[in-house]
Structure 1
Amino acid sequence: MYRVWNFVTNYSLLLIAGAIIALIWANIDADSYHHFVEFVIWDHAPIGNLHDGHRTLTLHYLVNDVLMAFFFAIAAKEVWEAVILENGSLRGKKAATPLIATVGGMVGPISVYLGIAYFLGSETYSAVANGWAIPTATDIAFSYLVGRMVFGAGHPAVRFLLLLAIADDAAGLIILAIFYPSGELAPEWLLLSVGAALAVFILCNWLPRKRDAGNQDRPHSTWMASTLGVWPYLLAGCVSWYGFQEAGIHPALGLLPIVPTLPHADRAFGIFSEAEQYLSDLLNKAEHMLKHPVEVILFFFGLLNAGVEFNAIGDATWLVLAGLIIGKPVGIFLMGWIAAYPLKLGLPAGMRSIDLVVIGFVAAIGFTVSLFVASVAFEPGMVQDAAKMGALFSFGAAVLSIMAGKMTRVEKQDG
């Protein structure tokens, strides 16, 4: 049984609340809002390079660069289980068509975004080109909720959408790491992150299991899990985060190397599944521990990033929207159709080709990750604000999804 409303309540309503408060605040008193966003928490001589480039730790930096690492860790956990587990959702032929459709769902928005920008002239293109990844994002929680509204819980298109969204998240993390460095690249510092991951995996995961070989009581693994719990992994995460920052890669991705090192169950019931709360492996325990803190983090993320004045609407706004509401459906339909028919990989039983278009509109809800990419793609200013407005307006894709479902005569299947 899937409880989408619980998930959306847990991870999205506070985010929406933060975003709405930010929009209202920024349009009533922009000066006080921006003063709040850049509130200085620590303004002392740095230890190493712990601060941002201004030798200060601001509220915005704390949330976007430090605390959002926990949000991306949860996303990475879902991707990791989908890939590594024997019955993972992104393994085997069943995932082939969604994975290929995901490629279309990224190439399509990029092509539309950069293509329109090119025709608007070289000046506009130069100003907005770095935001090409903003419309590639898909907000899993909101897209899944809308997908259920359009197709019904039991429709095969909903599972297809989930697979596509998880794969989109994985690709988005890679894009953020490679194309949006937070500073001058110094890749040798990644050895620190890799070393931390290897050390905690060997000492706290592999070695206890090795010593427990043949012993069903698993005393060493049990002691490690019950006594030390997630603390060694959190310590390794801090070291990895620092390695990412010093390497010039966005530090919000700093926990990604640590996620695969946590002991995990041999099965997963899937994202949004009620059953996953009963899994007692350390990976799922860590996710449960992070649940409520991440809710608060997402509230502050919305509050600190969505405060855009309406007069900031500009070219980047419409480019992001065009990439999402044109590029996503076209790209997903074309690549999904190629995978299903010329490549003979097929579609899930009960799903029509035209459903790919509807899925494309649902996947065009970018919001959370689109907002994050906009905040790192551009320096603070009019272009960044315009791009953020496009990410916020992507909620309109929900209305387009419902309309597309009606026009294509989608038959809802409850389950």
Structure 2
Amino acid sequence: MRQRIAPDTASSFYLIARSDRGTAFAHHFVRNLGGSDSVDTGAPYAPWRYIGTAELPAFDSSPTDAGRFVYSDDTGAQDYALQFTANGKYGGSYHGGEALTAEAVRLDGVAVDPAQAASGSQFSLFHSSTVTSGGNSYTMEFTVTVRSSDGALAFHCATSASAASFSTVFMGMVIGSGAYDEASIRLSGGSQDMALPVQVGTTYIGNAFSVRMRRTDNGRAIRTVANIPGQPNFRRTKIVRTGGRSKLYFEGTNGTLGTKVNLVWTVTFEAGATGASSFPTNLLGNGGFASDLSGWTATHNPSGIAWSAPGIMRMTRSASADGRCLQGVSTQAGAVYLLSASETSTPAASQGMASIGLTSASNGSISTPAPALSPVTNEAGYNAHVVIATQATHYAIATQALGTAGQTSDFDDFSLIKLADSI
């Protein structure tokens, strides 16, 4: 016996699975539970869905055993979410609007009732469903299995289809509860893992298909491997860290979903050494703007770019010209770097006017020659981007789009570190 169902309530159960290190994992599943914010479609939240994992001392331990370690405990979506263009609302999983066509909880291929204790060797949860929001809909067939060998999770979207248009498609999401403050990634087509810091904010990690989020305080890690990067309309992989969690997203671009088949990702839960990794020195000079903007050159709207206390680069918006300020840095073509900075715009509603990038021209051009990283609109706070250099000199750049005069964007803590010589 490798796995067992531990009933909880009418809308909650645990799947207990033996690990490959003498312990067990308690995977938590719920239904009829979801979001009701303005961006959520809302009820129904019909399918069973995964919301977290804890490691237990033993296979026969209670899923709420006092000695457990919680890797993830979060009712937010840990599978999929699609934002409908027509009404701007998210649907599916936590975000709702999801009605069942069929559903089956199985152990060893036999349907079981999760309200009753049961045991076996192989758990699976299947559903087919339709998500409807604002008169638009999509259908999907989705399966979660728990591997008998090590208790890891495997997610499989066999089919996801819609003729509707979507602003954003998240297929593949994982939440780590607590301070997952480092990651190790492997980019599509690459052959090595690269460690990088994960600060509170947003870290964009290109087309990474393998992501290991790690807590340096206790060495615990969550590793996700997906076939989603490289799929049509894939945009990027990212980690969003807040004070209490880090969430991994595989993100798709705007447009019609069409039909997607055989999207797969696995999630394993690891234990390892504690302690923070050592990262290379910042290649940029005066990235913290301690007392001035020395080392930086304002190429566009220079009168609107100045040092400001307590140590920031402040751009004041012009109605007639973009603001751009840059610093040249020696790079190695083909090498992988992490570009990061903190930025806040005022008023908050104007946050989308500011961006950072890694360009290829000393005159501030953001298009010619082609940049290694075209300026990307910032989220408020810390933003980081994995980028591959294309030439021997690049330019870390801060930009502010023209618009309502007098609005401000404050930049700080600019950094460029080298992660690896190649992917």
Normalization by structure 1: what TM-score? 0.21
Higher relative CO (CA 8 A, sep ≥ 6), structure 1 or 2? Answer: 1
Would you tell me which structure has more strand in proportion to its own residues? 2
From the CA coordinates, give the structure whose radius of gyration is larger.
2
